[in-house]
Structure 1
Amino acid sequence: MSVMILLALPVNLVAIAVLAYAIYFVRHRRADLMFAFVALNVGVFAISALMFNQQVELAMAFGLFAVLSIIRLRSDEISQREVAYYFVSLALGLVNGIGASTPLAAVGLSLLLLATMYVADHPRLARGMEWRTLVLDTVHGCDQELRADLQRRLNGRVLRVMVNEVDYVRETMTVDVRYRRLAPLAAAPPDRANAVTVPAPFAAADR
């Protein structure tokens, strides 16, 4: 194993630790996917390092990226956000493995990928935004009634709604809705003027 690969290995491990734990797990709390991102990254780095030592053509490296990019975790449903983490984990392994000959470029690209994920997935960027697929127990005839019902059920302001399915036999409809949560109403303090004081019960006198 060359010296460049030995130098690239700790850079890659630090990068995937920051991505999988400090950014993803701290925000989304899924330990199974954090493990999957780390395992994928280290595996891709090992294969990339082997190709680097064997001086494999760059076309084969891109072929590996294309093969790995079509792999999906069939055992569990993952969101588009988690797919993005999946691809960045893969990209970090390739960047640090194949780019071991140019360590400054590899470090710079790793920092760029991490900074992109940190900013793009920051909670403040889409604060209060939610997405739901709902099955309603009624069929609405107009868009205004549908939006009013969704806003009442979700306690939020509906930004976009799409009807996926309407079942007139069961009187149900399936909708895809994007909305922004409303701040919960704070409990009003009791009015002192109208407050009723309940006297404490008298203790029975000793006989």
Structure 2
Amino acid sequence: MELFEVPLYDDDFIKMIGRYAINLFVVTILVRVVYYKRSRSKDYLFTFYMLSTVVFFICFTMKKLELELGMAMGLFAIFGVLRYRTDTMPIREMSYLFTVIGLGVINSLANLKVSWLELITANAVLTALPAWLESLPLLRQESQEEVLYEKMELVHPDRYDELLADLEQRTGLSIARIEIGKIDLVRDCVTITIFYHPHQQSVQDVNGVNVSRRGRRL
């Protein structure tokens, strides 16, 4: 059956659903298990899922079209004109973004020349490699917050442990290290940068603490 000279169904529909299910499964492992477990941030989860889905269906649809050179050049020109005015995305999140885009392209454009073993291997590598890199202590994600601290008597090398314990008790964070910044003797306070690993904090700690990056007085 056809509607407006377009078939209502063809055999590629089952192929599309099957490939998308594979792509969604792999992206879920990468985003939900690997990325979110370490970052505890939900800011980019929507972007990762939607962009991967959009890229998958665009590539799958375009594969069935025989585009002329002029039309292809026109599409590239349109994308070249577009400008996205958004907040700067961190490098780590940008890496995950390119990974989910790559997964969408691979899973949608793989043809009969690509075996199932090759396709599974590509998906496994793009999922396992970020998980392995995230587990390395050297590459462990580290976040930072800046606070204004008023207990000047604790800002001394001999009382570092007391200062660290006081900051952990007042912020609710498990702090990896701190750096002493600008000391204001007029207002009797000091700027301290707190470094912590998000994946080591409980959900209540990360979401409950309200520390401004511009500095919050403790």
- TM-score (norm: length of structure 1): 0.53
Amino acid across the alignment from 1:110: N
Task: Identify the residue that residue 8 of structure 1 maps to in structure 2.
Answer: 19
Change (3 A) 1:23 1:53: same
Contact 2:134 2:141 in 1 (8 A): no
Relative contact order higher in (CA < 8 Å, ≥ 6 apart): 2
User: Is 2:187 the partner of 1:170?
Assistant: yes
Contact 2:38 2:141 in 1 (8 A): no
Q: How many residue pairs align between the two structures?
A: 171
Contact 1:132 1:176 in 2 (8 A): yes
| Secondary structure, counterpart of 2:193 in structure 1 | strand
Amino acid across the alignment from 1:134: E
Per-residue deviation, 1:161: 4.4
Q: In 2, Cα distance between the equivalents of 1:139 and 1:2?
A: 73
* Residue-by-residue CA offset, 1:167-198 (whole Å, 9 max, x unaligned): 454333333344689xxxxxxxxxxxxxxxxx
Q: In 1, Cα distance between the equivalents of 2:62 and 2:189?
A: 56
Amino acid across the alignment from 2:131: Y
Contact 1:151 1:158 in 2 (8 A): yes
Q: In 1, Cα distance between the equivalents of 2:60 and 2:146?
A: 47
Task: Identify the residue that residue 133 of structure 1 maps to in structure 2.
Answer: 145
Contact 2:56 2:104 in 1 (8 A): yes
Q: In 1, Cα distance between the equivalents of 2:144 and 2:195?
A: 7
Change (3 A) 1:117 1:50: same
Contact 2:56 2:105 in 1 (8 A): yes
Task: Identify the residue that residue 144 of structure 1 maps to in structure 2.
Answer: 157
Change (3 A) 1:179 1:26: closer
- TM-score (norm: length of structure 2): 0.51
Q: In 2, Cα distance between the equivalents of 1:83 and 1:129?
A: 14
Q: In 1, Cα distance between the equivalents of 2:121 and 2:114?
A: 10
User: Is 2:32 the partner of 1:21?
Assistant: yes
Please tell me whether Structure 1 or Structure 2 has the larger radius of gyration of its CA atoms.
1
User: Is 2:51 the partner of 1:40?
Assistant: yes
* Residue-by-residue CA offset, 1:96-132 (whole Å, 9 max, x unaligned): 234445254343221111112323334x958x99643
| Secondary structure, counterpart of 2:187 in structure 1 | coil
Contact 1:166 1:172 in 2 (8 A): yes
Task: Identify the residue that residue 118 of structure 1 maps to in structure 2.
Answer: 131
* Residue-by-residue CA offset, 1:126-161 (whole Å, 9 max, x unaligned): 8x9964323222568x87268455423345998654
Residue segments in structure 1 that go unaligned for 5+ positions in a row: 182-207
Q: In 1, Cα distance between the equivalents of 2:42 and 2:196?
A: 28
Q: In 1, Cα distance between the equivalents of 2:31 and 2:63?
A: 25
